[in-house]
Structure 1
Amino acid sequence: MSQSPAQSIALEVPVAAPRSSSRSCGDLPLSPRLHNSDLAPTQAEGRRWGYYSLFALWTNDVHNIANYSFAIGLYALGLGGWQIVLSLAIGALLVYLFMNLSGYMGQKTGVPFPVMSRISFGIHGAQIPALIRAVIAIAWFGIQTYLASVVLRVLLTALAPSLAAYDQNAILGLSSLGWVCFVSIWLVQLVILAYGMEMVRRYEGFAGPVILFTVAALAAWMYFKVDGNIAWSIREPLTGAEMWRNIFAGGALWLAIYGTLILNFCDFARSSPCRKTIRIGNFWGLPVNILVFAAITVLLCGAQFSIDGRIIESPTDIIRSIPNTLLLCLGCLAFLIVTVAVNIMANFVAPAFVLSNLAPRYLNFRRAGMISAALAVLILPWNLYNSPLVIVYFLSGLGALLGPLYGVIMVDYWLVRKGRVNVPQLYTEDPQGAYYYSRGVNLRAVAAFIPAAVIAIVLALVPHFEPVSPFSWLFGAAIAGFVYLLIADRRRAFEEVDGESIAVANASH
């Protein structure tokens, strides 16, 4: 499906005249090490992610089990109901702003995240941010698949209690029933992936209303169960400076949770027709959706606390207590559907593009996705999930790197280049190419990333810095962006851009 190495990249829609350049950008050879049909920019007919698609995408992600567990955990910080809503509102506005900046890049250029990273890090240096994102995604793909399989086990044992007998043994750390459930969920996700991004879009669109209706119905049921007597706090509420510190810490942590998708949102936004679509779809999907999510969290947790003084860990705790088997099963099924939806969007799409980017000649989106899914099984993710050391030091440490990456990429695109990108030259290894830099690596971007990454990891993991650890993503992004702004070569950034383009002409699209 990819073009031959001898073919040249053709500009489809020039949108800006060149400022100054002595080089031609449209006749450099296409490199098979950098291009295939899945990595090529999307064409107009392939841009089907409209308002609803983006809204449904975020609905699934916002209302997933892990996010509810995080929001409920804000009670442990001493925040009350209105404080939790305010904290999540602050986080929602930050996520909305940063997500739009990333999405606009993808919409304009039409390229996925590994290719987008070539702009700032170079055609080969882009493997640094891409691989960091992929490792995190593969690990969490396995973990989320395991968590979905746990929900499936609850569902199956509710329908057939005799199956509980197969949940007592252990094979590599998982019971026989656990293996059946895990492999089943794993295969369902592979089937969805096999049909490409269009099937991902359709599944996200189907799952969004399912989970929204489920959590709304669950909240209404709990509200009437306690006759509206909601506990707005579970202990003496914080006041003063400590209260505001925890409110802003909660918002910063919410931003860090979305650090992965903020980085590679262009994988989805590249298929949106215009900026307005991203702006409106993200508005309803993020700030509005997150405020609804915050209200439901407070209602569910407050209602349960009013009943028995117990703090739930997630909505599934409430679902398990539903006396009606049919309603219990429907609730489990809804959370199963949304967990799969979240896993695909957050942890499947990214490594599929990244692995395809490693060997475009041999790996398309589907093959790369299969490999990443296989790796997610081989790491035995239930053991990772049950190891606090791995979660805190390995995955959290890698997560701290996402802020510095985002800072470099955004500053390079918006402040240094002013949004001017020569898309065709993202796919050439010619030394005359705009993004060849030094043997394919922009050493200035790496130099800005490394110190910021070290600082972010120290802030995130060293106990002494615990008071500021929630802000490690922001600190990392700000430091990396500022350093890069100081050392970036602005003259080269403009001299090497000989016009812009929306997409690469590709007969296979």
Structure 2
Amino acid sequence: GTQTSRASVVFRVLLTAIHPGFADYDHDSILGLSTLGWACFVAIWLVQLVILAYGMEMVRRYEGFAGPVILLTVAALAGWMYFQANGQIAWSIREPLSGGEMWRNIFAGGALWLAIYGTLILNFCDFARSSPCRKTIQVGNFWGLPVNILVFAAITVLLCGGQFQLNGRVIESPTEIIAAIPNTFFLVLGCLAFLIVTVAVNIMANFVAPAFVLSNLAPKYLNFRRAGLISAFVAVLILPWNLYNSPLVIVYFLSGLGALLGPLYGVIMVDYWLIRKSQVDVPQLYSEDPQGIYYYSRGVNMRAVAAFIPAAVIAILLALLPGFASVSPFSWLFGAGIAGLLYLLIAKRQPHYADVSGESIAVDNVSH
């Protein structure tokens, strides 16, 4: 919902640049959004639904198209900003930090970045399961993560540093850069590029996962398309533009999200690497036999739940209570570490897993 709202803002800039008369419809308020805002939001919302309606193959093609478009666009913007600033880049907007405080801020920023990408780590299988081989995944991740992120980080420094050098103003949104382009033709091209990539990121990061989750929860009633529709309507009902306008809500949401997903990641990693030694019995994953090794207690791994709950509570307290502000950016790491350690201790003391190689089987008493 929030990403769609952000894309609609770019669309509003595009429409008013093409026809300034549209700005007359941008002054009223209906549930916190103007008439023009509603029209743009619904338009972007529908475009995403159309892409999803054609399934994952269409998503893959669209993502492949959007990636190069945004890279070329932001690189061109960075070059334009660099020449506008006569090659002068501001490297700091205030007195630079030093010593321990500097390093705490550096690692805190990295920890928050990790919490954001932690969402994609957990549902990466939604995309990787369609890959033809392991090498494809490795090559894609190499170019798509470390290389791509470093390139965009350099571009961000040029854009923000150049803008601050020009007028002493800090850029808080890429939309501000686009809106500041003096040439209408290039402004329109920039808006189109940002629309394309925002939709791409939104579908990949925020739409596919809930569509799969909801369809798996009720496979008799929901397919991928129907589940996607439910997710889309929820995105409208929460009125995301009102949430985004509150910086406090954003901070609490991201911190709480990391605090909950960190423990989930810790349990999954320990279970796969340390408990099961990276061995998975695929046919058993689809078995409803009460004696199956993944049946647990009516399909619920209570040991994982027992490790998740206390770790999540601790991580949320660290993330949200003002007294822990200095460590709150690290709530994802704390949650993952605590949950992983608890799960390892519980699983070692109460072994209940079948050896997928067939050499030994230990039966979970709870599942009887």
Give secondary structure in 2 for the equivalent of 1:271: coil
Deviations 1:285-342 (A, max 9, x none): 1111111111111111111111111111123212211110010111111111111000
Are 1:421 and 1:497, in contact at CA under 8 Å, matched by a contact in 2? no
Residue from 129, 146, 151 that aligns with 1:270: 129
Gaps of 5+ in 2: 360-368
For 1:450 and 1:463, locate their aligned partners in 2 and report how far apart those are by CA, in whole Å: 21
- The code of the aligned residue for 1:494 comes to A
Report how far residue 428 of structure 1 moved.
2.6
Report how far residue 389 of structure 1 moved.
4.9
For 1:255 and 1:460, locate their aligned partners in 2 and report how far apart those are by CA, in whole Å: 14
* Pairs within 5 Å for 1:441-456: 441-456=300-315
Give secondary structure in 1 for the equivalent of 2:61: helix
What residue number does 1:336 align with?
A: 195
Deviations 1:118-170 (A, max 9, x none): xxxxxxxxxxxxxxxxxxxxxxxx11111111110111011111011111112
Residue 493, structure 1, aligned to residue 353, structure 2: yes
Gaps of 5+ in 1: 1-141, 500-509
347-356 or 376-385, larger mean C-alpha shift = 376-385
For 1:231 and 1:418, locate their aligned partners in 2 and report how far apart those are by CA, in whole Å: 49
What residue number does 2:224 align with?
A: 365
For 1:386 and 1:225, locate their aligned partners in 2 and report how far apart those are by CA, in whole Å: 31
Deviations 1:232-269 (A, max 9, x none): 22222211111111111111111111121111111111
For 2:51 and 2:133, locate their aligned partners in 1 and report how far apart those are by CA, in whole Å: 26
For 2:4 and 2:200, locate their aligned partners in 1 and report how far apart those are by CA, in whole Å: 11
Cα root mean square deviation, aligned: 1.6
- The code of the aligned residue for 1:331 comes to G
Q: Which structure would you say has the larger RCO, counting Cα contacts within 8 Å and 6 or more residues apart?
A: 1
TM-score scaled by length of structure 2:
0.93
Are 2:255 and 2:331, in contact at CA under 8 Å, matched by a contact in 1? no
For 1:185 and 1:404, locate their aligned partners in 2 and report how far apart those are by CA, in whole Å: 34
For 1:234 and 1:393, locate their aligned partners in 2 and report how far apart those are by CA, in whole Å: 25
Aligned length: 358
Report how far residue 394 of structure 1 moved.
4.7
What residue number does 1:283 align with?
A: 142
* Pairs within 5 Å for 1:189-200: 189-200=48-59
- The code of the aligned residue for 1:361 comes to K
For 1:191 and 1:496, locate their aligned partners in 2 and report how far apart those are by CA, in whole Å: 42
Identity of aligned residues (%): 82
- The code of the aligned residue for 2:84 comes to K
What residue number does 1:436 align with?
A: 295
Residue 234, structure 1, aligned to residue 106, structure 2: no
Give secondary structure in 1 for the equivalent of 2:220: coil
What residue number does 2:44 align with?
A: 185
Report how far residue 275 of structure 1 moved.
2.2
Summarize the Cα distance change of 1:314–1:171 in structure 2 as closer, same or farther, 3 Å threshold: closer
What residue number does 2:255 align with?
A: 396
- The code of the aligned residue for 2:355 comes to E
For 1:154 and 1:394, locate their aligned partners in 2 and report how far apart those are by CA, in whole Å: 27
* Pairs within 5 Å for 1:193-212: 193-212=52-71
- The code of the aligned residue for 1:454 comes to V
For 2:358 and 2:28, locate their aligned partners in 1 and report how far apart those are by CA, in whole Å: 64
Are 2:85 and 2:162, in contact at CA under 8 Å, matched by a contact in 1? yes
For 2:169 and 2:338, locate their aligned partners in 1 and report how far apart those are by CA, in whole Å: 42
Are 2:279 and 2:356, in contact at CA under 8 Å, matched by a contact in 1? no
What residue number does 2:366 align with?
A: none
What residue number does 1:213 align with?
A: 72
Give secondary structure in 1 for the equivalent of 2:352: helix
For 1:191 and 1:449, locate their aligned partners in 2 and report how far apart those are by CA, in whole Å: 37
Are 2:264 and 2:308, in contact at CA under 8 Å, matched by a contact in 1? yes
What residue number does 2:156 align with?
A: 297
For 1:379 and 1:232, locate their aligned partners in 2 and report how far apart those are by CA, in whole Å: 38
Deviations 1:52-77 (A, max 9, x none): xxxxxxxxxxxxxxxxxxxxxxxxxx
Report how far residue 491 of structure 1 moved.
4.5
What residue number does 1:173 align with?
A: 32
Are 1:434 and 1:497, in contact at CA under 8 Å, matched by a contact in 2? no
Residue from 246, 269, 275 that aligns with 1:410: 269
What residue number does 2:174 align with?
A: 315
- The code of the aligned residue for 1:340 comes to V
Summarize the Cα distance change of 1:388–1:221 in structure 2 as closer, same or farther, 3 Å threshold: closer
Report how far residue 496 of structure 1 moved.
5.8
TM-score scaled by length of structure 1:
0.68
What residue number does 1:380 align with?
A: 239
Report how far residue 395 of structure 1 moved.
5.4
- The code of the aligned residue for 2:172 comes to E
